[in-house]
Structure 1
Amino acid sequence: MGLSEDLIQSYSSTFQKAVDHPLVKELCAGTLSNKALYVYLTQDTKYFRLYIQIILKTAFLCDSDDAKIGFGKQIGFISNDENTYFDKAIQFLLEKDPSLGQKYNPKTFMPDEVQAYIDMLTKLSARLETYSYAQLVTYLWTTEVIYLKWAKKAMQTEGAVAENLHWRYKEWITLHCVDNFEAYVDFLQHEVDRLVDRDEVDSIFRRTVDMEYGFFEACYRNR
């Protein structure tokens, strides 16, 4: 068993709760309210700048030129496909209900769980010597593998994804189970499994799983 699978098994309860969270299940079923989807997407955009900084920092610290290219490809993906989806979906939701932008103004509204996650990412993206390559790539893999697993599980489970699902839901699912995203997660997992010191990355894995679950909870609470 590789380090990555060992980590998942060690914290399987919280990890699985994140993968099976009601928010993503309702999103796949097309029953998640526009309010909850708006909160979820606008809060998720708060991570964008910090996430890119962390990828850049991770690539800089990486000892493999091939791996550096892998990180670069992912920056292109989230800067284009994912960012385009955010803009389009949020605009659609505001056109359906303009009051969402007033009640959940992304400039002023931030649940405590989101603030805690932002604080964690701010530290991860800080000075180069603050965190190791092993810790940073473990963070990147943890957050992405949760998304890959819930999206693939939905696509492979009969009835989990509603027929004729509206694009505001379906495109978000598709972005997280397309071949290039799965290849990126596999690449990150390979990098995690290259590491030998579990003690160095155990805490960052556990904290990231907790933060991802907390993020889903915070957004779902506002349904």
Structure 2
Amino acid sequence: MPEAFSGSFQDFQAVTPNARFSDWLAARAEPYWSEATDHAFTHAIGDGSVPDEAYVRYLIEDYTFITDLASTLGYLVAKAPTMRSKSRLSGFLALLTSEENDYFLRSFEALGFPAATYETAAQGPVTRAFADLLLTSSGKGTYAEGLACLLCAEWCYLTWGLREAGQPRPEKFYLAEWIDLHAVEGFESFVNWIREEMDAVGAALPPAQQESLAKIFSKMSALEVAFFETAWTGEACLPEVNPEKV
């Protein structure tokens, strides 16, 4: 796994020509960033080898998380500095509460999982920690802090989604569609916009605030790893994050 870059954004620019602020966030978040985007669970989705019980665990936790992600987007819509930014975020919120929600319902039915179970499921400890960081950063924090969380979550999925989209699709529709949801042009365009927004907002901040964003992004990356690991193993795996990175 790549080693983390420990310096400031200005240091990163000095050694990496034309460096983007979002690239610096990812570099600061290593090895968590690479562990999340290259996790065995994501590869198993792509090649169809993920056991149904592991995928059900994953879907349940993700389904319980959707409401919190929608709330996060609502906070960011309210705090976005321009109408264009509000429009992009609200458009994704509309997609999240329609097409993606429909995917969950059809997938649970195909997996033989009753509505009474997933509709009353409580978040596990990793999902709670993940949701708490998102909601705290977007609700009580600044626009930039909430955006850093959203960027990590969505960019991670785009990264492995595009990788697996380049391979033959698995036969099970709920695996193939999950890949497609995170590799389609519309999603890629939205994530690229988040990166551009983060690049513009983050690069303009003073170094102390940039450092705060790097720590948030690193913690989000570690929680992404824990989220996949919990689904993969069936055991709650709260991350052991390097205290210097959070």
- Do both share a fold (TM > 0.5)? yes
Q: Aligned residue for 2:105?
A: 87
Work out whether residues 111 and 218 of structure 1, in 8 Å CA contact, stay in contact via their aligned partners in 2: no
User: How big is each residue's C-alpha offset from its partner over 1:25-65, in whole Å with a ceiling of 9 and x where there is no partner?
Assistant: 11111111111111100100111111111111111111111
| 1:125 CA displacement | 5.0
Are 1:11 and 2:17 counterparts? no
**Aligned partners of 2:122, 2:69: CA distance in 1, in Å?**
20
Residue segments in structure 1 that go unaligned for 5+ positions in a row: none
Q: Which of the numbers 57, 78, 88 marks the counterpart of 2:75?
A: 57
Length-normalised TM-score, structure 2: 0.79
1:70–1:209 Cα change, 3 Å: same
The correspondence of residues 89-168 of structure 1 with structure 2, limited to 5 A, is: 89-94=107-112, 107=120, 110-124=123-137, 126=139, 130-156=140-166, 160-162=167-169, 165-168=171-174
Amino acid at match of 2:144: A
Amino acid at match of 2:44: E
CA distance in 2, matches of 1:67, 1:125: 15
The structure 1 segments of at least 4 consecutive aligned residues displaced by more than 4 Å after TM superposition are none
Distance (Å, rounded) in 1 between the aligned partners of 2:43 and 2:138: 31
**Matching of residue 26 in structure 1 with residue 37 in structure 2:** no
Aligned length: 211
Q: 2:51 is matched by which residue type in structure 1?
A: S
Q: TM-score, normalised by structure 1?
A: 0.87
Pair 1:204 & 2:216 matched: yes
Cα shift readout 1:121-154 (whole Å, capped 9, x = no counterpart) = 342354xxx2000111111111000000001112
**3-state secondary structure, aligned to 2:107:** helix
Match of 1:38 in 2: 56
Change (3 A) 1:122 1:67: closer
> In 2, distance between residues paired with 1:111 and 1:56?
23
SS in 2 for 1:210: helix
Q: Which amino acid aligns with 2:128?
A: Q
Q: Is the 8 A contact 2:138 2:147 kept in 1?
A: no
Task: Output the amino acid matched with 1:12.
Answer: E
- Pick closer, same or farther for the CA change 1:44–1:209 going to 2, 3 Å: same
What RMSD in Å do the two structures reach over aligned CA positions? 2.1
Judge conservation of contact 1:36–1:220 (CA < 8 Å) in 2: yes
Residues 55, 75 of structure 1: 8 Å contact kept? yes
In the alignment, is the contact (CA less than 8 A) between 1:70 and 1:184 conserved in 2?
yes
- 1:114 and 1:218 in contact (8 A); partners too: no
Of the two structures, which has the highest relative contact order with CA contacts closer than 8 Å and spacing of 6 or more? Answer: 1
Counterpart secondary structure, 2:112: helix
Deviations 1:184-212 (A, max 9, x none): 00110011001223223112101110111
One-letter amino acid of the structure 2 residue matched with residue 186 of structure 1: N
Q: 1:124 to 1:9 in 2, by over 3 A?
A: closer
Tell me the percent identity: 21
